């Protein structure tokens, strides 16, 4: 039996019919139509599906959509600044060459956003620890870590 739930995604409210077993990643991608969030393993192992729920990174492939009823969700589509410019984290990923195939990137960006919101000046250890749940098969992680360091500096200088 379907139940209507309310999700506020990137500032817009959606009323979505879901069944109790629907996971948030599928609802975001298939019912709301925001396909920036990727589904890789579907088992909580790769981090590709990371979105923010009430500002905290969660794995949307193992989160039941029904548990998010009434909550605020941010996906990669909601990361850009209000004037349409890239978020400093996105800009740093581009400038540091932290993107190759791009499949992991939305999840990486959302995990990094959650980290920098909670800890604006993370140490190398903090970055490695926080990002350890996000797998990238292309970049070797070094440039991703550097991008997060650059974003941290840019954001703390209030450049954007
Ligand atoms: S798709 Fe969610 S952790 Fe891999
Ligand atoms: S850029 Fe290809 S998986 Fe990370």
Residue 136, token pair as written in the block: 């990238």
> Atom of ligand 2 at shortest distance to CA of 137?
3
Q: What is the CATH number of the domain that holds 22?
A: 3.10.20.30
**9-44 burial string, b = 16+ CB within 10 Å, else e?**
bbeeebebebeeebbbbbbbbeebebebbbbbeeee
Q: What value does the mean pLDDT take over residues 121-131?
A: 98
Question: Counting ligands in written order, which one lies closest to the CA of residue 106?
Answer: 2
Verify that 100 and 66 share a domain, yes or no.
Answer: no
Query: For residue 160, is pLDDT > 60?
Result: no
Verify that 124 and 68 share a domain, yes or no.
Answer: no
Full domain range(s) for residue 42: 3-77
Q: What is the pLDDT of residues 42-91, one digit of tens each?
A: 999 999 999 999 999 999 999 999 999 999 999 999 999 989 999 999 99
Verify that 30 and 53 share a domain, yes or no.
Answer: yes
Query: For residue 144, is pLDDT > 90?
Result: yes
Residue written as token pair 């650059």: 150
Q: Give 28's pLDDT tier (boundaries 50, 70, 90).
A: very high
What distance in angstroms lies between residue 48's CA and the mean position of ligand 1's atoms? Answer: 5
Q: What value does the mean pLDDT take over residues 146-157?
A: 96
Q: What is the CATH number of the domain that holds 147?
A: 1.10.150.120
The number of folded domains in the chain is 2
**90-123 burial string, b = 16+ CB within 10 Å, else e?**
bbbbeebebbeeebbbbbbbbbbbbbbeeeeebe
Cα(85)–Cα(83) distance, rounded to whole angstroms? Answer: 6
C-alpha R_g of the chain: 15
Indicate whether residue 135 lines ligand 2 (CB < 6 A): no
Indicate whether residue 24 lines ligand 1 (CB < 6 A): no
Question: Counting ligands in written order, which one lies closest to the CA of residue 40?
Answer: 1
Q: What value does the mean pLDDT take over residues 23-48?
A: 98
Query: For residue 130, is pLDDT > 80?
Result: yes
Q: What value does the mean pLDDT take over residues 114-125?
A: 98
Verify that 115 and 152 share a domain, yes or no.
Answer: yes
Cα(86)–Cα(76) distance, rounded to whole angstroms? Answer: 11
Q: Which of 24, 42, 136 to mutate to test the pocket of ligand 1 (most atoms within 8 A of CB)?
A: 42
Residue nearest to atom 2 of ligand 2 (CA): 101
Verify that 68 and 118 share a domain, yes or no.
Answer: no
- Give all strands (DSSP E) within 11-96, no chain letters: 12-18, 50-53, 56-59, 72-74
């Amino acid at each position: 039996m379907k139940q209507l739930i309310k999700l506020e995604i990137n500032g817009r409210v959606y009323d979505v019919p879901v069944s109790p077993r629907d996971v948030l990643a599928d609802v975001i991608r298939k019912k709301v139509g925001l396909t920036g969030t990727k589904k890789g393993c579907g088992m909580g192992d790769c981090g590709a599906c990371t979105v923010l729920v009430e500002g905290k990174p969660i794995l949307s492939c193992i989160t039941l959509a029904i548990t998010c009823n009434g909550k605020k969700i941010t996906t990669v589509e909601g990361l850009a600044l209000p004037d349409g410019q890239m978020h400093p984290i996105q800009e740093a990923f581009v400038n540091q060459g932290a993107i190759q195939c791009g499949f992991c990137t939305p999840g990486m960006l959302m995990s990094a956003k959650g980290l920098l919101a909670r800890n604006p000046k993370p140490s190398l250890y903090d970055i490695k620890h926080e990002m350890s749940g996000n797998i990238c098969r292309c970049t070797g992680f070094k440039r991703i870590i550097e991008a997060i360091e650059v974003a941290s500096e840019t954001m703390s200088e209030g450049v954007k």
